[in-house]
């Protein structure tokens, strides 16, 4: 196990019980707008993207097929609405990356990443803040105690950790990765353990991103009702650990069959390019809606959902393929994000 710290200035009951906990959010008041994502009624014919957990919530990024179906049904229309008292990430996001590469998968299979995977995902987290795409977030705000504060366009990575600890026994069944699956509870346990090893603490301006190895799947619960590569490509959420809020994202390894849109490029010729875009989706949603009570629309979409797998125009010639972003000499094709000012998806904010 190797830890690299980078300075920046500036058995919870039975399966049935666990699933019930996750599917039941606070009761919906039909006479008033939902005040949290878990209260938004599920649109007929679609899976629930957001679930309440015992100490927080999860919000998933759908697969390409899931996104297309929601778009065709008119479920990606916006606008984003601010829900009174909701929190955003302030003053700036500090991003911690955890790469979990154990000696073997639960079924004995091999683990690993592509050649440039850690580098591309690291640079995506390093350069996303303070550039044009992140600038789009500055139109969003929080109003708490009568004080309105806008999101800043600043932040970046403060910690990276490569973990070779073995995986726990498979806690779920992801049909895309038979025999190899971890639940959200197991993901939270790993993040908390790594935080303890490094002396990292939680808080509303820190985002912990867990990248799992190729061949490893995940599901919300041991009941395996919503899983990677069938329902989602990634998710973000929050939980409480020792009385402190932990913001986190689960980043399953890139899957080109269900998490790469038609025409989506790999500017650096590596599947890490795909994960970089998913990472920007999760970071953006965490910044604008860290607790699931700030910015989302009437259908339960967050800022990244409204533009999922929408890339706009590629105007840069990357090393291996066209790109729509060039950050400090690094090329990416990042999904666009929702701009409430224009009511459209954009590559650069106002």
- Tens-digit pLDDT profile for residues 179-236: 999 999 999 999 999 999 999 999 999 999 999 999 999 999 999 989 999 999 999 9
Q: pTM for the whole thing? A: 0.91
Query: How many degrees, rounded to 5, is the angle at CA 238 between CA 234 and CA 244?
Result: 150
Alpha carbon distance 326, 347 (integer Å): 11
Q: Per-residue confidence at 27, pLDDT binned at 50, 70, 90?
A: very low
Angle between helices 117-127 and 272-288 (to 10 degrees): 30
* Average confidence (pLDDT) over 21-48: 65
Q: Per-residue confidence at 4, pLDDT binned at 50, 70, 90?
A: very low
* Average confidence (pLDDT) over 3-31: 36
84/24: higher pLDDT: 84
Alpha carbon distance 12, 27 (integer Å): 22
**pLDDT, tens digit, for every residue of 8-18?**
433 333 333 33
Listed residue (335, 6, 287, 323) closest to 140, CA to CA: 287
* Average confidence (pLDDT) over 82-108: 97
What are the b/e assignments for 140-179, b being 16+ CB within 10 Å?
bbbeeeeeeeebbbebbbbbbbebeeebeebbbbbebbee
Q: Which residues, other chains included, contact 85 with Cβ-Cβ below 8 Å and sequence gap of 6+?
A: 35, 143, 144, 293
């Amino acid at each position: 196990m190797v830890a690299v710290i980078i300075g920046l200035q500036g058995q919870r009951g039975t399966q049935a019980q666990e699933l019930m906990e996750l599917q039941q959010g606070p009761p919906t008041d039909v006479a008033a707008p939902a005040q949290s994502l878990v209260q938004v009624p599920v649109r007929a014919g679609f899976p629930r993207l957001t679930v309440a957990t015992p100490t927080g919530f999860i919000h998933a990024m759908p697969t390409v097929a899931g996104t297309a179906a929601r778009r065709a049904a008119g479920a990606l229309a916006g606008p984003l609405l601010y829900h009174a008292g909701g929190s955003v990430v302030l003053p700036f996001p500090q991003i911690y990356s955890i790469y979990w590469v154990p000696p073997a998968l639960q079924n004995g299979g091999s683990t690993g990443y592509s050649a440039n995977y850690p580098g591309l995902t690291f640079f995506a987290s390093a350069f996303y803040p303070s550039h044009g795409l992140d600038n789009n977030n500055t139109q969003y705000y929080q109003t708490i105690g009568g004080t309105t504060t806008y999101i800043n366009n600043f932040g970046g990575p403060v910690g990276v950790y490569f973990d070779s600890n073995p995986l726990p026994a498979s806690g779920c069944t992801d049909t895309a990765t038979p025999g190899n699956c971890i639940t959200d509870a197991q993901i939270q346990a790993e993040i908390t353990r790594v935080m303890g090893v490094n002396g990292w603490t939680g808080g509303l301006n820190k985002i912990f991103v867990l990248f799992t190895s190729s061949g490893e799947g995940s599901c919300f619960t041991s009941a395996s009702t919503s899983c990677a590569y069938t329902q989602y490509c990634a998710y973000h959420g929050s939980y409480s650990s020792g009385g402190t809020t932990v913001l986190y994202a689960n980043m399953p390894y890139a899957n080109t069959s269900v998490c790469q849109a038609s025409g989506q490029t790999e500017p650096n010729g590596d599947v890490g390019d795909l994960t970089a875009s998913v990472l920007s989706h999760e970071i953006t949603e965490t910044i604008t809606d860290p607790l699931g009570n700030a910015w989302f629309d009437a259908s339960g979409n967050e800022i990244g959902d409204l533009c999922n797998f929408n890339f706009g125009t590629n105007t840069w010639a990357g090393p291996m393929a066209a790109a729509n972003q060039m950050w400090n000499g690094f090329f990416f094709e990042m999904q666009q994000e929702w701009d409430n000012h224009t009511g459209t998806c954009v590559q650069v904010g106002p």
